[in-house]
């Protein structure tokens, strides 16, 4: 059932809301009240004339008057009235067929911090630069209406409503339209595991929550208890809404380990079926990408293999293994990583923890992933969480050397997996990305502050994190975009561009099946070897130069991060080599050879 206010044209609008326990539901408009008619399964609906786009409304129940839980726009924020949206738009992407998942190079961005204006339309002038870099998909952090005008987006309380400080429905459509004209896919981050703590009036309407399970954010969404079929429909229709009405190409599903469903047909499997149906209708493949902490490929296995049928999932093990090597940190979950063999295993097997004992979890964790294609996994060295998990939101550029940044780039972009970059990473952005909010409830603000301190205390970090409520905490997170054309930042940007071109053009790097990938480690030297058919990559995580031996064959240099062209100290590795000969790779650098 499609819920919300759907403008029919000619000043007519259909309103539908799910409220199974109410005896009456009244649509409150600015100039009148309209009694709604009860339908099957506790839905209420009415078609009203004399309604123009932008008309504001609420629903009156026995318990009070509230905004629409399926509101498509909240012009006055989470506590204000809902507004009718006219979805008519002149699209110019009728020939767009999307980018194949295996060709995704994802660029994660936060709308508010990506540009000075902090809007959808302000992103458009930067698309050409991203295209020239080699980006093929942007991933937009959650845009559902949240309290105030500063938030990561995971505190949204209106899953259908576009954050009013970013723009409106037309603004988002203009951005998607422009992306497609540039040959860039759009991934939208959606949150189906909780509602934010302020403005969540949805609990007034129906049994959207269950006390059977608990999430880190409170009560779980009701996907398997009484009335869950209508709750599931609410979220299924939401996914289709973004894909259908806004031409979004893929959805990133936030923290699916907190989507609890013990029913015979898991919500995620039903979601995959519904999205596949829409893909067939539109003759264009649409994708679902899960963020998951489970290391469980059941998410992406096919239905015939008793999986849920999602298209891809994140692999945090890759990030943790690489980050621990680069920084030497061993706090929190990083204590489970830190060896070169961890990274080599992440290259070979995807998951480091594949039903292996994880010390920080005090239990066995994960499952093997060898039966799934490598192009079903997303990896990174920076993302919003991993930067935000630093007390002061330090990016990698503040934690390691310039040589280390190049090493990190090579380790990610030369992998067979789908790479994700976090905005500004490509030029070594130095401004932080800390956690920020703009709540209006003083008690909630204090609770958020206490919560942040407790999180860092759990990591045994001392000090005072930035105040998440302070406007300046958000302001300092805005990118200094002009840096990508300056000094060392321009060098790093060009280095990323070179790596991405190599990734998509070299035959050995284009081939990404498991049979063509092998990796091993020399722990005493802190070297990691990655072999991609006729290409070998030697990564040196040591603080000193290291000698390596050429494997069987004749080899010539493709790329060396220590070259002076990349502001390195100069290569010590030979341009060519063969079995029985040796070379030297600079500290904190890597060299790529191809067979000839």
DSSP 137-195: EEEEPP-EE-STT---STT-SEEEEEPTTT--HHHHHHHHHHHHHTT-EEEEEE--S--
Instruction: List, in order, residues 6 or more apart from 125 with CB less than 8 Å away.
Output: none
Which two three-digit tokens encode residue 144?
A: 């559902």
Residue in this structure with the two tokens 């990938």, named with its chain if needed: 517
Closest CA to 483 of 475, 473, 492: 492
Q: What is the dihedral of CA 276, 280, 281, 287, to 10 degrees?
A: 50
- Measured over all CA atoms, what is the biggest interatomic distance in the chain, rounded to whole angstroms? 87
Which two three-digit tokens encode residue 102?
A: 């295996």
3 state DSSP class of 565: helix
Per-position b or e across 89-120, b if 16+ CB within 10 A of its CB: beeebeebebbebeebbbbbbbbbbbbeebbb
Distance CA 141, CA 138 (A): 10
Give the angle 565-559-337 at the CA atoms, nearest 5°: 105
Strands (E), 395-489: 418-422
Distance CA 57, CA 28 (A): 5
Closest CA to 590 of 338, 422, 413: 413
Distance CA 340, CA 342 (A): 5
Contact 29, 55 (CB under 8 A): yes
Residues annotated as catalytic (active site), given as ranges: 254, 291
């Amino acid at each position: 059932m499609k819920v919300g206010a759907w403008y029919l044209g000619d000043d007519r609008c259909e309103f539908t809301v799910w409220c199974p326990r109410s005896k009456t539901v009244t649509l409150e408009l600015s100039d009148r009240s309209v009694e709604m008619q009860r339908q099957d399964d506790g839905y209420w609906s009415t078609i009203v004339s004399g309604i123009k786009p932008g008309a504001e409304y609420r629903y009156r129940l026995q318990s009070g008057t509230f905004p629409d839980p399926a509101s498509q726009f909240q012009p006055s924020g989470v506590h204000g009235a809902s507004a009718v949206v006219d979805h008519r738009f002149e699209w110019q992407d009728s020939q767009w067929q999307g980018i194949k998942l295996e060709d995704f190079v994802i660029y994660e961005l936060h709308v508010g911090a990506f540009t000075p204006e902090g809007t959808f339309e302000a992103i458009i002038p930067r698309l050409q630069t991203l295209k020239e870099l080699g980006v093929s998909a942007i991933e937009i952090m959650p845009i559902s209406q949240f309290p105030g005008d500063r938030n990561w987006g995971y505190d949204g309380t209106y899953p259908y409503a576009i954050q009013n400080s970013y723009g409106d429905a037309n603004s988002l459509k203009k951005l998607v339209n422009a992306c497609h004209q540039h040959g860039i896919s759009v991934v939208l981050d959606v949150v189906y595991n909780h509602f934010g703590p302020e403005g969540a009036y949805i609990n007034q309407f129906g049994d959207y929550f269950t006390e059977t399970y608990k999430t880190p954010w409170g009560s779980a969404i009701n996907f398997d208890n009484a009335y869950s079929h209508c709750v599931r429909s609410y979220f299924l229709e939401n996914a289709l809404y973004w894909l259908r009405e806004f031409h979004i190409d893929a959805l990133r599903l936030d923290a699916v380990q907190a989507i609890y469903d013990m029913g015979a047909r898991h919500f995620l499997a039903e979601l995959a079926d519904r999205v596949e149906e829409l893909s067939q209708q539109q003759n264009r493949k649409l994708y679902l990408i899960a963020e998951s902490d489970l290391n469980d490929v059941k998410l992406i296995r096919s239905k015939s293999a008793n999986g849920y049928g999602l298209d891809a999932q994140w692999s945090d093990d890759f990030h943790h293994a690489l980050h621990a090597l680069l920084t030497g940190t061993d706090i929190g979950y990083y204590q489970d990583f830190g060896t070169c063999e961890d990274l080599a295993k992440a290259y070979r097997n995807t998951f480091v923890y594949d039903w292996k004992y994880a010390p920080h979890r005090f239990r066995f964790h994960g499952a093997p992933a060898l039966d799934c294609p490598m192009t079903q996994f997303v990896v990174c060295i920076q993302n919003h969480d991993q930067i935000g998990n630093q007390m002061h939101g330090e990016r990698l550029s503040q934690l390691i050397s310039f040589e280390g940044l190049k090493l990190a780039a090579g380790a990610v972009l030369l992998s067979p997996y789908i790479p994700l970059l976090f905005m500004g990473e490509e030029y070594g952005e130095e401004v932080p990305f800390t956690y920020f909010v703009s709540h209006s409830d003083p008690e909630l603000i204090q609770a958020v502050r206490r919560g942040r301190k407790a999180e860092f205390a759990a990591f045994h970090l001392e000090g005072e994190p930035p105040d998440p409520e302070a406007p300046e905490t958000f302001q300092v997170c805005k990118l200094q975009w002009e840096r990508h054309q300056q000094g060392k930042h321009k060098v790093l940007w060009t280095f990323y561009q070179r790596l991405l071109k190599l990734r998509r053009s070299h035959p050995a790097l284009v081939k990404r099946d498991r049979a063509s990938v092998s990796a091993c480690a020399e722990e005493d030297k802190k070297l990691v070897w990655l072999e991609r058919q006729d290409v070998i990559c030697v990564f040196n995580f040591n603080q000193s130069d290291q000698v390596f031996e050429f494997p069987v064959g004749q080899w010539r240099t493709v790329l060396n991060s220590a070259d002076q062209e990349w502001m390195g100290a100069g290569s010590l590795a030979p341009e060519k080599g063969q079995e029985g000969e040796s070379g030297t790779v600079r500290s904190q650098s890597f060299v790529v050879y191809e067979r000839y």
